[in-house]
Chain A
């Protein structure tokens, strides 16, 4: 047995003894019903999601399927200079091809670990989104890790059908989002208020999160 293994076993043994040293006060985890704020009965999850996402400082552009390419094109033109590098990190191969076509020559070559630091925009799809908090859920399932946090601009494409009512649903649904090596729930642009409580965005992650909501 390795030293590491024996230390782990010793910890387990001590924890076992410690647990038994006091009476068990809670034998069953209580119902979490009160935790849920939004149910699937909510009339328009897309509206709620858009409102909440805006409330935490993300920008939402609502389009139909036909308007998606144009919206992404506009956002790229708004945020990135013509030669600024773009990374596309999509699980949906079809969407990835469309976004790559839009990015054209600016598309970063996917060949080294720190390409992300050279990129100005990261375009991703999402595993799902959460209406209650206006959050995006992005994982490494089929995506380049951190494409949503390293470049200064994150463009996220969300389909209305991907919106879950509540955070609770992320943990209860059949989504494989949490099976990935890395999953991030994003609820706004990167921010800090460390200096005298003054809110500053873009401290490490993106200063702007642009959501293209496709219904």
Chain B
């Protein structure tokens, strides 16, 4: 798997974040795109839902939470209805198992010795389980058909955003890859580049033996899957090849089409400020007798890969996520560090809480210990200013800051937080229980600044340019202004009672 999204563990986020902050192009691309999408998201909800936006989010939150709270019933119903429609349902505990199921389906269709090919529609869960490397290793030539994913594939790059995977790349990089990998003539025009990719892929669609996709929703009542795309690549991936495999996390289940409308209305607006994605496609079983087009076999691979563990934990809420990407666009930290800094296909605020939790739940013997996944991702819970923009943007109201705080506690309990910082905080708390000492400590800070700080010409303040201990990070780029004149309490008591 690509080390950008599947790095060596434990993962150290800081070098990647530092590098990203210095990368001016990345700052520009990611900054502009996320700001634009975030603003447009606000605009379309104001226009279409106004004051009722919050009520809509509440409906979506509770509808999805209901599904999670009754996931066993829904799953049973889905399996029965999907099989009734002629689909085959598989279950995979791990990513490896999911890949193996797909490989055995492929093998069953392999004509003697002939190499197979696959067309794949964009899917986060297939990134997660490493399907592409597994297929390539088995000699199944696989084409990412989503334009962004295709460009990343031919560049050996990895997605850095849930919805706009190549948010970190520009047209120049694309132009060069198309010359190099496709033998295309050099052009930087996005329309021409898109048409080159289209022409390249058309023939591959026709020849493909297998289609692969993810799903945005599973409908228990109907036994069908709902897939949202803007390009139409899912429809082509499922329409042509004789076999289609849908990989889907079990948390995508909802009761049925009767519960779908709030999510469809929120998903595209939250992600790309569209009323709906261009294509909202329902697939219900393989092609039927007498029909023209469509797969002769339709397989669902229900993927656990840690989800059951999350369902059982106090972080069940995280499974409400519909992968709209709004929290990434809204997040000031994501805007600065980009997706690859999170060391996971799930970047940004939701990734910061989901990645360690999925890691924990897949951790075998440690899986039951809260926070066990944090040892491999100790920076993720701290990589947030806790500004709350993610919670505000989330269409299903996942309280991401709450879970970040929860993880910071687990980090501290497991000794994964800086010791000096913990000691400082403990001292601070000890002093805070002793008002006289606490005031003396504040006085000492002020005295320290008066003695060593640089006097301000404008007011009674001194500037410290170096602070020791855990505060050193502060004065790396900032001064610390400390008021050195009369303290507030002196002033207040001097005025007397009024």
Contacts and interface: CB of A to CB of B under 8 A. Distances in A.
A1 to B, nearest CB: 13
Contacts of A203: 147, 194, 197-198, 231-233
Given A187-B278, A192-B194, A197 B36 contact: yes
Interface string A140-172: 100011100110000000000000001110111
A12 interface: yes
A16 to B, nearest CB: 4
A189 B278 CA distance: 7
Given A18-B308, A19-B69, A133 B174 contact: no
A190 B308 contact: no
Contacts of A40: none
Contacts of A81: none
Contacts of A24: 69-70
B55 A145 contact: no
Q: How large is the interface on B (under 10, 10 to 19, 20 to 34, 35 or more residues)?
A: 35 or more
Name B's interface SS.
Answer: helix
Interface residues of A, number: 77
Interface string B72-107: 100110010000010011111100010000000000
A34 interface: yes
Contact of A205 (B165, B232, B309): B232
Contacts of A184: 235, 279-282
Contacts of B292: 110, 113, 144-145
Contacts of B124: none
9 contacts: A22-B311, A30-B59, A167-B265, A178-B282, A195-B166, A195-B171, A196-B171, A196-B190, A197-B33
Interface of A: 4, 7-8, 10-12, 14-19, 21-22, 24-32, 34-37, 52, 56, 110, 113-114, 116-117, 132-135, 140, 144-146, 149-150, 166-168, 170-172, 178-198, 200, 202-206
Interface of B: 29, 32-33, 36, 48-49, 52, 55-56, 58-59, 62-63, 65-66, 68-72, 75-76, 79, 85, 88-93, 97, 145-148, 151, 164-166, 170-171, 174, 190-191, 193-195, 197-198, 201-202, 205-206, 222, 224, 230-233, 235-236, 238-240, 250, 255, 257-262, 264-265, 272, 274-288, 291-294, 302, 304, 308-309, 311-314, 316
